[in-house]
């Protein structure tokens, strides 16, 4: 998320809001140093240590899948 926010700064947006379903409070505080706002649905403490623990299904994604997905997005504009 930090890398994404930093990348967006290069586009000179009027503001950046980082959004996630769940994050530890210390991560939210850290991201607030980089983004204009941070929105999470759950910042439960104590954080259980793994994002996947908060989901019914959280399958692993291989490096190859990530490369394929990112390559498919290259050149697309939002």
What are 6-62's pLDDT values in tens digits? Answer: 999 999 999 999 999 999 898 999 999 999 999 999 887 888 778 888 889 999 999
Q: And the tokens for 68?
A: 């394929």
**Enclosing H/E stretch for 29:** helix 25-31
Domain ranges of the chain: 2-73
pLDDT at 1 over 60: yes
Contact, 57 vs 27, CB < 8 A?
no
**CA–CA distances in Å: residue 37 to residues 40, 55, 56:** 10, 24, 28
Per the listing, tokens 């959004």 go with 19
65 pLDDT band, cuts 50/70/90, is very high
CATH number of 2-73: 3.40.50.2020
């Amino acid at each position: 998320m930090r890398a994404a926010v930093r990348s967006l700064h290069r586009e000179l947006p009027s503001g950046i809001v980082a959004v996630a379903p769940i994050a530890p409070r210390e991560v939210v505080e850290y991201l607030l140093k980089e983004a204009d706002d941070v929105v999470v649905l759950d910042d439960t403490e104590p954080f259980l240590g793994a994002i996947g623990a908060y989901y019914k299904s959280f399958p692993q994604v291989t490096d190859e899948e990530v490369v394929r997905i990112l390559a498919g997005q290259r050149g697309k504009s939002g």
